[in-house]
Amino acid sequence: MEPAVLSHAPRRLAPTPLALADLVGLTRRIADEVRAGHHPVVVDPERRWYQRLQGDDFVDVWLISWATEQAAELHDHGGSIGALTVVSGSLVEHRWGGDQMRARTLRAKRSVGFGLGHVHDVGNPAPAPAVSVHAYSPPLSAMSYYDVDGGRLRRTRSELVEAGEGVG
């Protein structure tokens, strides 16, 4: 697999030489590879399936499948920035907007980047499975999980992420 291409953009708010645009471009390129059949995908009706496709000192890339009603818990990405591209199907992202949760539907070929402090959950409420590619830079080392209580975001726990450990 080719290494991530660095942009000439200045380093932004995270300890990484990659910018959000780099991560979005990387997830788009790998999503095209998945569509072309270069990376096998498994859909597990019991739990989200994921496979680490790339990992080095600067970036981790994950392929994730989402059966109907599978979702991630409301979380952040610690000191990492990230991006995702939907390969097929659609996902709904619920993200903290500073005063309330906001929702957006991400359909096939849609990409989004997220900076430090982005708190969201992602899930597949649709009847058809969805597949997505995610990239984090630097690789995930910690994640915090949240609840929304009385219109306020409340951290419930934080967890360390071991190198190459699955994305929660």
List CB contacts of 105: < 8 A, sequence separation 6 or more.
90, 91, 92
Does 120 appear as a known binding residue?
yes
| CB distance 136 to 77 below 8 Å | yes
Residue 75 labeled ligand binder: yes
CA neighbours closer than 13 Å in the CB half-sphere of residue 35: 14
Q: CA-CA distance, 49 to 24, in Å (whole number)? A: 21
Q: Could you give the strand order of the β-sheet that contains 101-107, starting from the edge strand earlier in sequence?
A: 70-71, 120-124, 90-96, 101-107
**122: β partners:** 93
118 is in an annotated binding site: no
Tokens 């708190």 identify what position?
A: 119
User: Binding site for Fe cation: residue ranges?
Assistant: 75, 77, 120
User: Binding site: residue ranges?
Assistant: 75, 77, 120
